[in-house]
DNA sequence: AACTCGCTTCCCATGATGTGGGATTGAGGA
DNA sequence: TCCTCAATCCCACATCATGGGAAGCGAGTT
């Protein structure tokens, strides 16, 4: 299992590509990694991994523990992250999400797409899973992001592995295509134990003017809370919140007309 | 004025170095940049800047506006930023800072050092300046970070330019050294109109076990609020908050003993 | 319309630049 | 003490990034 998270572009880029892979390495694996661990994870010679790490260190994208000389994400990442967080207006979303969570008694999560993953960037729960990466094919958030995928982000065809987490996980590409058609028809996605048992999630898109999903909004709870009878009510709440987020997160130019 | 923000390391790294400079380009200049603007800012051939941007695009560190094909920070930055934000425990700091701001009626900011800048990463004010970069030599936050600089981060000598913002800005290296000695003696830094008139800032360090500043905590208001007579009281409040942050942000191993 | 300017994007010969095997040093562990 | 594993440095090789150039657009101007 190589780190094929990013699309390999043909143009000259190997060194940069690898350096970015080093950074990407820090979600999946622990908060800090040694040079040789990096090399192993990325299947690179130690020498090369070490050089990349030193370069990232010099630019502030990594920092090194003085005692153990292990690497962890550096101040430049924190800085740029805060910047893009605010540029996307995500700090405006937090109150809306808390409100939704409180109103519904469920967990509310907002995710955006990052390559082949859905990434939760803001949450309205008490223990936010913010920063968490979820696969696209086995989560309600992911299915929404796939169903209304922006052009150029790659549709469901760009996800070869599709590992099964439970016996309900959809793994067949054809079944996934059918599921996405259903999601588009009903205008919401349901995840009923496809990534873990005992968790039911409803997700709706935050759409832009072109009809593509910029974000996905999820409401998550146990099946006892989100019963079939109450599903419609949860959807109304979620869609209302999604509508509010369209106004908060999208500039007027990219927003869709109010009466759509 | 080249982008010399990062330390140039001798080892093979040019391509990576430049790619990271591209990312760093997005604080200073607007939220989105075109390929040729990037080239101009970084003094690179358009061809090269374009290739770097495409590589960053493929890895999700940039994203491209579909209409204007300008670049902006991508989802991977948001994702990694959230991750490192939580790894540093900064979400735990927000309530403390709000509390401090409310108690003192001033703005409370928490900053960390990123190369030659102090970066505000969390704030307790109504309009947080989070993500903002401030120079080290002309802010109270910066002076604290310099006075208790961690080894290997470079002391005041590593800041050649020292531009003057007002007639009170300290520009002489010798004067800066003396100022830092005073800061260390008094255990706080004062910025009285050195970066802008009508703003007075007090800053104290959040120290680790080795006696180095991991963060700087600032209290900012007009001179009418932070009078000479009330300075001591503000310092007591700030230091109490800094002490609380030591416990929240530092692991027991890197923390200093309670009775120091 | 025709012209022009600036931008994005692709191509490709050149050699500068990243590569990685291996040597060296230092820090634990048995 | 010896042994192992990791961090760091070195250097000859050829792979890979480089950047000049040209083609293709789109918008604004005459």
A85-101 pLDDT, tens digit per residue, is 999 999 999 999 999 99
CA atoms within 13 A on the CB side of A26: 31
CB contact under 8 A, A6 and B31: no
Instruction: Categorize the per-residue pLDDT at B118 as very low, low, confident or very high, splitting at 50, 70 and 90.
Output: very high
pLDDT at A72 over 80: yes
Chain segment A101-148, per-residue pLDDT in tens: 999 999 999 999 998 899 999 887 666 666 688 888 889 999 999 999
Which residues make up the interface with nucleic strand D when CB must lie under 7 A?
A 11-17, 34-37, 46-47, 50, 54, 64, 69-70; B 12, 14-15, 18, 44-48, 51-52
pLDDT at A5 over 50: no
For position A217, what pLDDT does the model report? 97
For position B228, what pLDDT does the model report? 92
Q: Which fold has domain A14-78?
A: Arc Repressor Mutant, subunit A (1.10.10)
pLDDT at B4 over 60: no
> Where does CATH 3.30.450.40 sit in chain B?
88-249
Token output for B3? 């982008």
Put residue A205 in one of left, alpha, beta given phi > 0 → left and psi -120 to 50 → alpha: beta
Of the listed ranges A72-81, A148-157, A184-193, B151-160, the one predicted with least confidence: B151-160
Alpha-carbon gap, residue A184 to A186, rounded angstroms: 6
Average pLDDT on A181-197 reads: 89
pLDDT at A246 over 90: yes
Alpha-carbon gap, residue A199 to A202, rounded angstroms: 10
CB contact under 8 A, B31 and A56: no
What are the chain B neighbours of A57 within 8 Å (beta carbons)? Answer: 9
Separation in Å, CA A168 to CA A175, A192, A220, A250, B16: 12, 8, 17, 35, 43
Of the listed ranges A54-58, A66-70, A142-146, B17-21, the one predicted with least confidence: A66-70
The partner residues of A117 in beta bridges, in order of sequence, read: A114, A135
Query: Is residue A80 a contact partner of residue B23, using CB atoms and an 8 Å limit?
Result: yes
Any CB–CB contact under 8 A between A251 and chain B?
no
Any CB–CB contact under 8 A between B15 and chain A?
yes
- Strand order in B107-114's β-sheet? B133-135, B117-123, B107-114, B213-221, B200-207, B189-192
- C-alpha closest to that of B37 among A13, B2, B29, B73: B29
3 state DSSP class of A11: coil
CB contact under 8 A, B54 and A133: no
pLDDT at B80 over 80: yes
Q: Which CATH architecture has domain A88-249?
A: 2-Layer Sandwich (3.30)
> Where does CATH 1.10.10.10 sit in chain A?
14-78
For position A52, what pLDDT does the model report? 93
- C-alpha closest to that of A27 among A90, A98, A154, A116: A116
Instruction: Categorize the per-residue pLDDT at B3 as very low, low, confident or very high, splitting at 50, 70 and 90.
Output: very low
Q: Are strands B213-221 and B200-207 parallel, antiparallel or unpaired?
A: antiparallel
pLDDT at A61 over 90: yes
Question: What's chain B's length in residues?
Answer: 260
């Amino acid at each position: 299992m190589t780190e094929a998270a990013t699309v390999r572009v043909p143009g000259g880029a190997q060194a940069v590509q690898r350096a970015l892979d080093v950074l990407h390495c820090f979600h999946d694996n622990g908060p800090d990694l040694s040079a040789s661990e990096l090399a192993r994870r990325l299947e690179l010679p130690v020498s090369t991994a070490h050089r990349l790490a030193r370069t990232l260190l010099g630019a502030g994208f990594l920092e090194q523990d003085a005692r153990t000389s292990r690497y962890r994400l550096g101040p430049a990442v924190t800085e740029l992250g805060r910047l893009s967080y605010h540029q996307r207006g995500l700090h405006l979303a937090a109150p809306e999400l808390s409100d939704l969570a409180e109103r519904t008694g469920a967990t509310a999560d907002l995710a955006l797409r990052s390559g082949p993953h859905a990434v939760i960037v803001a949450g309205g729960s008490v223990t936010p899973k913010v920063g968490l990466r979820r696969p696209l094919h086995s989560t309600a958030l992911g299915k929404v992001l796939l169903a209304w995928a922006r052009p150029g982000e790659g549709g469901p065809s760009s996800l070869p592995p599709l590992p099964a987490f439970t016996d309900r996980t959809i793994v067949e590409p054809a079944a996934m295509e059918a599921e996405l058609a259903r999601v588009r028809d009903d205008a919401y996605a349901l995840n009923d134990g496809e990534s873990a048992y005992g968790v039911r999630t409803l997700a709706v898109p935050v759409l832009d003017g072109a009809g593509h999903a910029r974000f996905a909004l999820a409401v998550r709870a146990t099946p006892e809370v989100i019963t079939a009878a109450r599903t419609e009510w949860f959807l109304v709440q979620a869609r209302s919140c999604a509508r509010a987020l369209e106004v908060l997160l999208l500039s007027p130019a990219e927003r869709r007309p109010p009466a759509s």
